[in-house]
Structure 1
Amino acid sequence: MGRRPQPQIKERLLDACADHALAHGLPDRLEPLATATGTSARMLIYHFGTRDALLRAVLGRARQRQLDTFGDLLRVRPDEPYTATLERAWTSITGPDGQPYLRMFGQLRESAEQQLWPNFRRTATTDWLGPLEEGLRSIGRPDLATLVLAVIRGLLMDLDATGDTKRTDQAFRDFLGAVENLSRDCRWSGDVGSSAE
């Protein structure tokens, strides 16, 4: 009689594989993941079925970590303006905590590995619209979510291509100033409208 799968071992292996992939990129072969987990390629296949199934699981685990981390960063905080929240989130996303995710998912977008997650580009965009809409609702401008996301994605591409942190950080601060002005204009016109009634 064969061994029964052990979910706790599979979870531990998956976490170790995700740690390795975030630190070093998604490997072409199973051996680096086997070494990182202290097991064999054969045991990884036993737990995950195929190489592609393992890599999909690794991508999914890394993506969930990114959503949890950055989703929390984008959450509204009652004691600060949402533009300050966005500035802090930008600093974390582009800093050491965010770099592993940017590398991994940038690699996924650019390589043949996107066959592992065919709708990744769409998912990687739409995942962030909800949290941004919710945050921007706190300043009366949920309609700016697509614009804010487009600016973030564009500046991340710029930063990846040029490495010019100072310029892209300044561009994002300038953009947040424009968002504050739009929010202020929206509040002002709302006040005028309500006082005119």
Structure 2
Amino acid sequence: MKPERQRLLDLVIDLILRVGVLDLSMSAISREIGSNNRMLLYYFGSREKLLDEACVRAFVRFPRLETMFARLRGEGDLNERLYAAWDDLAAPENRPYLVLFFQRFGAAMGDPERWRNDLHPSTHRWAEDLAEIFVAEGADDRSAALWGTHLLAVWRGMQFALLADAEPASLRESYRVGVDALTEALLQP
């Protein structure tokens, strides 16, 4: 049997992946997971701390996202690894996580001081991780950093388009054209 705190956290993760975090009061959370406010406050301290932990922990439920950079750092053709990264990001099973990510991102825009360091590491590290991969492929540091930032922005825009019901096959094809142009510019002699 799982300890009670973990059991409650798992139920909250299930809830936020199903309905999101917007407008979830502590009472609504308690009611939906079959607990009570006092129990949740005892284990988590506040609604914000509970939702913050649940959002961060939700990420591990999406192994294709969690291990995407390990695959990007792997062997083989850079274009093929970048194509696979979009397939990982756009996988239908990741949709609940993407909705959650953009909800938290929207909250961060409304209260940047509170959320500055609390958003998922993908908002802080992914561009740097991409730059490291590009340097390992032979790009200079400045170009790698610029293209890493660019590719992350492309991913975010395409993820948003995916959630807005853009045609997945069209997005995939567009992404591949962009990756081909990126790697040609990045790795030119």
Please, what TM-score do these two structures have when normalized by structure 2?
Answer: 0.76
2:83 is the alignment partner of 1:87:
yes
The 8 Å contact of residues 127 and 148 in structure 2, kept in 1 or not, is answered as: yes
Corresponding residue to 1:11 among 6, 25, 47 = 6
Query: Which of 170, 173, 181 is the equivalent residue of 1:167?
Result: 170
Q: Once superposed, what is the RMSD of the aligned Cα atoms? A: 3.1
- Equivalent residue, structure 2, for 1:135: 133
Highest RCO, 1 vs 2 (Cα 8 Å, sep ≥ 6): 2
5 Å matches for 1:139-158? Answer: 139-141=137-139, 142-143=144-145, 144-158=147-161
In structure 2, relative to structure 1, the CA distance for the partners of 1:90 and 1:66 (3 Å cut) is farther
Q: Secondary structure at the match of 2:67?
A: helix
Q: Which moved more, 1:81-90 or 1:121-130?
A: 121-130
Q: Could you say which residue in structure 1 is the equivalent of 2:16? A: 21
Kept after mapping to 2: 8 A contact 1:74/1:135: no
In structure 2, give the amino acid aligned to 1:96.
Answer: P
Answer with 1 or 2: which has the greater Rg.
Answer: 1
Whether contact under 8 Å (1:129, 1:146) holds in the other structure is yes
Contact 1:82/1:135 (<8 A) preserved: no
Q: Which amino acid aligns with 2:115?
A: P
Over the matched positions of the two proteins, sequence identity in percent amounts to: 25
- Determine which of 26, 30, 37 is the counterpart of 2:26: 30
Unaligned runs of at least 5 residues, structure 2: none
| CA 1:135–1:112: 2 relative to 1, 3 Å | closer
The Cα shift of 1:135 comes to: 2.3
Residue type at the aligned position of 1:42: R
Q: For residue 156 of structure 2, what is the amino acid of its counterpart?
A: R
Equivalent pairs, count: 178
1:179 is aligned, of 174, 182, 189, to 182
TM-score (norm 1): 0.73
Q: Is the Cα–Cα contact under 8 Å of residues 25 and 104 in structure 1 kept in the other structure?
A: yes
Structure 1 unmatched ranges of 5 or more: 1-6, 190-197
